[in-house]
Amino acid sequence: MKNQAIPIRYGFFIAAALIVYFLLLSLLGLHTNPYFSLFNAVITGVGIYWCIKKYQEYKGVKFKYQKGFMAGIVSGFIATFVFTLFFGIYATNFDATFLNEIAQGRRAENNISVAAILFVVATMGFASSLIITFSFMQFFKSSWNTKETNKNIAS
């Protein structure tokens, strides 16, 4: 597997997991409750973690922070784009009352536009991907606190 394919593959895995989770909530009638969308960050986090881990295994010792960060960001952004596309198709074609149910739950006006909802979904996904990737890269980056570095500093 080439290193460019790792984030793309994991991005589609994350998107598929998000879609399955949303459809499961939809079957249970819970898809309009915004509190269940918090689990989206968990799904995205697990996917980004495994993407970075797989990328690190592929690169081995020469794992660079920037490349690992880009792998996590790309996988998260692909997942966000695919899920936002699915969300738009679902809200406009499969459940005509979905947007009204969201508006009633938030005490908003009944005429929420699809574009506004998609903007919020995409922004939340991109922001979550950025924060999660940055957080996980703290675990994967190389430490500067090595015997070699301490020896050079003490001199």
Which tens digits make up the pLDDT trace of 7-66?
999 999 999 999 999 999 888 887 777 778 888 999 999 999 999 888 888 877 667 778
Phi, psi of 21 (to 5 degrees): -60, -45
Which structure tokens are listed for 64?
């660079």
What is the reported pTM? 0.81
pLDDT per position as a tens digit, 77-90: 999 999 999 988 98
Cα–Cα distance measured from residue 140 to residue 57, given in angstroms and rounded to the nearest whole number: 11
* Residue 116 and residue 31 in contact, taking contact as beta carbons nearer than 8 Å: no
d(CA 64, CA 142): 8
Task: For residue 86, give Cα distances in angstroms to 30, 32, 102, 112.
Answer: 17, 16, 17, 18
Residue extents of the structural domains in the chain:
5-154
